[in-house]
Amino acid sequence: MIAFREGWEPNNNLTNKLQKLLDLLNEDCEIDSGALYESKNIGDLIQIVYDSLYNKNNDCISLIINKNANNSLDITIDKIQ
């Protein structure tokens, strides 16, 4: 939720941009096919799988996982069913 100082009304564009930023920071974004998550760790991988299969009640998730030189992971959601 975003709250502004009393008596000040932001435009809708600013509100939407701030909400998107908050969603990214909280990682409340939808997990969609084709989504790319860069520089993640094993815990993030587990969270992506758990959210997709159990919180969103999907039956199948196909991932492409690339290990980077610094041992972080780039995770691409290939398909969700």
Question: pLDDT digits over 10-44, tens only?
Answer: 677 777 777 777 766 665 556 677 788 899 999 99
Output 48 or 3, whichever has higher pLDDT.
48
3-state SS assignment for residue 21: helix
Q: Is the same domain home to 75 and 36?
A: yes
Which pLDDT score, from 0 to 100, does residue 10 have? 67
Q: Is the same domain home to 43 and 73?
A: yes
Which pLDDT score, from 0 to 100, does residue 74 have? 94
* Kind plus residue range of the DSSP H or E element containing 20: helix 12-26
Q: Is the same domain home to 18 and 38?
A: no
Question: Token pair of 11, please?
Answer: 């435009």
Which pLDDT score, from 0 to 100, does residue 67 have? 96
The count of domains in the chain is 2
Which pLDDT score, from 0 to 100, does residue 40 have? 92
Q: Is the same domain home to 44 and 76?
A: yes
Which pLDDT score, from 0 to 100, does residue 27 have? 58
Q: Is the same domain home to 8 and 43?
A: no
Range of the domain at 42: 32-80
Query: Between the CA atoms of 61, 48, 52 and 67, what dihedral angle is there, to the nearest 10 degrees?
Result: -10
Which pLDDT score, from 0 to 100, does residue 2 have? 62
Q: Is the same domain home to 62 and 24?
A: no
The model's pTM? 0.61
Q: Is the same domain home to 41 and 69?
A: yes
The backbone torsions φ and ψ at residue 33, rounded to the nearest 5 degrees and listed phi first, read -60, 135
Q: Is the same domain home to 25 and 42?
A: no
Q: Is the same domain home to 17 and 43?
A: no
